[in-house]
A = this chain, B = another copy of it.
């Protein structure tokens, strides 16, 4: 596996105050001093290091040696045990899971290490929301409070984020900490509009995809570039085993769409889907450690006919599957009718629900239509039902929405869904740029996030066309980091501008290496620069070839400053 590091960076760990044993991981980027020459004397003014939010997990800790067959350290395990409300199981609760486990032919592709799954004692709820409502600040809550603040305190930046605030936001349903008790490898993070904007990346193998190492590498890659959560949308025969490899090696929360696997189990025949198969799939995945499920429970039989009035019908995979099921059986969506049972399963593992937007518009023509907003109202009802079971909830949204219709989405979500965190795909602000939909959607994503969307589902350049390659994933993640960060700044998020300030100062002072180290993609920035200087390696570096030395405004600017000072 490729080793991943960030330039000029070290991993630091910050302890908690309530829980001193916490080790909240951050990335610290060192900076070169500013050098000036006055009357022949060289003066150096040091530049403080910059602390950055770090989604890469232990992989970028140079002191850490990873074994993909063992997985990441299970650092949350002790905290979970200490709570004393869970038990370890002797065997898997899912019939399908047990069947796969018993199948010797799978030994070669199985994750070698076997961890016993954990579940709440009967009648217990073990969700972060449950604890928050009881007034408890969990280690996860303190972790995210520290993580969100970075070094704000040291910089004297006033922040509203405290462990108490985190608890209250989770208790109110305005924020989600997706942290399955069976995924103790993950570093806690929080999704809510009072916090920094997060991004989700999708990975998914195809039926043709190769080894498990490759799947894990994709996950690492996404985390390395800055993905805050990871949805595993894999299909194919060995979806169960693949998922195990990914979760055991994944430092960020993992989400899935269980209906995809359920459909695989019935050979792709929508009509054959049943609540029982779906239920067993939920339990199977809860015990593997999936942190949140996309559930298309808002798709209703009575609304199926509405999609005929649309230009592009239903473009949500889960939504189209459930709609078809409803129509074929002329029956209500079993995810809707069994929603309380689903919640009672999930609150024993602390798996969050991401209520799927089956009626996401697939073209700007269909944006904000009746299908979409009727479903949103239903998602609001379901959110309240989930909260009755102490299950954490997010609401999925957008798709293709033109700029002038974005605000209405956010406003309606807040009112219909009682401020549950909004989690949107893009939105794409025009349909006319296949091959560039990371960009059409980054425009929409930045806007909707600035208005309060808590997490953005990334879009790659290959959207609508094919599966993304690793390079597409990188392009998609960086594009969405840009959108999320632009929104954080627009929101006035505490400390958001620190990185911009430091990078701009480095740029102005021609500290190129510092500029690259602080860039979202240090490698690309450096490569572009180096390539352009190939013909002039010995030239002084107080300019870039964009303008050339005689026309470098920054250089002239500094001369002006010197002249003004004289």
A432: B residues at CB distance < 8 A: 482, 485, 499-500, 503, 518-520
Among residues of B, the one whose C-beta sits closest to the C-beta of A521 is: B435
Enumerate A146-171 residues with CB–CB distance to B below 8 Å.
Answer: none
- Residues of B contacting A207 with CB < 8 Å? 548
> Which chain A residues numbered 480 to 507 have a C-beta less than 8 Å away from chain B?
481-483, 485-487, 489-492, 497, 499-501, 503-505, 507
- In A448-472, the 8 Å CB interface with B consists of 450, 461-467
Pair A501/B363 contact, Cβ less than 8 Å: yes
Cross-chain contact of A365 among B327, B491, B497, B531 (Cβ < 8 A): B497
Distance in Å: Cβ of A520 to nearest Cβ of chain B: 5
User: Which residues of B are found within 8 Å of A535, using beta-carbon distances?
Assistant: 208
A560 interface contact, C-beta 8 A? yes
Asked whether B490 lies within 8 Å of A365 as measured between CB atoms, the reply is no
In chain A, residues 429-453, which have Cβ atoms closer than 8 Å to a Cβ of chain B?
429-436, 438-440, 442-443, 446-447, 450
A311: chain B residues at CB < 8 Å are 501, 504-505, 508
Indicate whether A443 sits within 8 Å of B440 (C-beta atoms), given known contacts A320-B556, A489-B430, A492-B404: no
A315-B557, A486-B440, A551-B235 known; A431 vs B564 contact (CB < 8 Å)? no
Measured between alpha carbons, how far is A400 from B403 in the docked complex, in Å?
A: 21
Residue A328 at the chain B interface, CB threshold 8 Å: yes
Q: Chain A 4-19 against B: per-residue CB contact (8 Å), 1 yes, 0 no?
A: 0000000000000000
Residue of B nearest to A446 (CB): B443
* In contact, B563 and A327 (Cβ under 8 angstroms): yes
The minimal Cβ–Cβ distance linking A211 to chain B, given in whole angstroms, is 18
Task: Kindly supply a per-residue 1/0 record for chain A positions 555-566, scoring 1 wherever the CB is within 8 Å of any chain B CB and 0 otherwise.
Answer: 011111101110
Q: Is A59 an interface residue (CB 8 A)?
A: no
8 Å CB interface, A529-566 against B: 529, 531-533, 535, 544-548, 550-554, 556-561, 563-565
Residues of B with C-beta under 8 A to A429:
446, 482, 486, 489-490
- A324 near B560 with CB under 8 A, answer yes
Within 8 Å CB of A505, what residues of B? 311-312
A515 to B437, CA, bound (A): 14
Q: Which residues of B contact A430 (CB under 8 A)?
A: 482, 485-486, 489, 500
User: A504 vs B125: C-alpha distance in the bound complex, in angstroms?
Assistant: 46
* Bound-state Cα–Cα, A481 to B436, Å: 11
Q: Which residues of B contact A324 (CB under 8 A)?
A: 556, 559-560, 563
| Residues of A in contact with B, size category | 35 or more
CB of A321 within 8 A of chain B? Answer: yes
Contact A328 B563 (CB under 8 A): yes
**In the complex, chain B residues whose CB is within 8 Å of the CB of A403:** 446-447, 450, 486-487, 489-490
Considering the chains assembled together, what is the distance between the CA atoms of A446 and B430 in angstroms?
A: 11
A525 within 8 A of B: yes
Verify B521–A433 contact, CB threshold 8 A: yes
Q: Does A72 count as interface, using CB distance less than 8 angstroms?
A: no
- Chain B, Cβ-Cβ closest to A523: B435
Whether A308 sits at the interface, judged by CB under 8 Å, is yes
Residues of B within 8 A of A564 (CB): 304-305, 308, 327
Given the complex of chains A and B, what is the CA–CA distance between A319 and B547 in angstroms? 14
Interface status of A268 (Cβ within 8 A of chain B): yes
Is the Cβ of A551 less than 8 Å from the Cβ of B260?
yes
CB of A490 within 8 A of CB of B439, answer no
What residue of chain B has the Cβ atom nearest to residue A528's Cβ?
B465
A384 to chain B, nearest CB (A): 28
A524 interface residue, CB < 8 Å from B?
A: yes
Task: Check A482 against B365 for contact (C-beta < 8 Å).
Answer: no
With A492-B404, A560-B323 as known contacts, state yes or no: A503 contacts B431, CB within 8 Å.
yes
With A and B bound together, what is the CA distance between A503 and B364 in angstroms?
11
Instruction: State whether the Cβ of A478 lies closer than 8 Å to any Cβ in chain B.
Output: yes
Q: How far is the CA of A304 from the CA of B492 in the complex (A)?
A: 30
| A545 and B308 alpha carbons, distance in the complex (Å) | 25
- A518 CA to B403 CA, complexed, in Å: 21
A305 to chain B, nearest CB (A): 5
> Chain B contacts of A462 at CB under 8 A?
528, 532, 546
> Cα distance A118–B518 when bound, in Å?
53
Known: A433-B481, A433-B521. 4 other contacts (CB 8 A): A307-B557, A320-B553, A402-B489, A433-B519
A-B residue pairs, 8 tightest by C-beta: A466-B532, A313-B557, A363-B504, A403-B490, A435-B524, A320-B556, A429-B486, A320-B553
30 A-B residue pairs with Cβ-Cβ distance under 8 Å, sorted by A, are: A208-B535, A235-B548, A304-B560, A304-B564, A314-B556, A316-B553, A320-B553, A323-B557, A362-B504, A363-B501, A363-B504, A364-B497, A364-B500, A365-B497, A365-B504, A431-B501, A431-B503, A432-B500, A433-B521, A434-B515, A434-B519, A435-B521, A435-B524, A436-B478, A439-B439, A462-B528, A464-B507, A465-B544, A466-B546, A467-B545
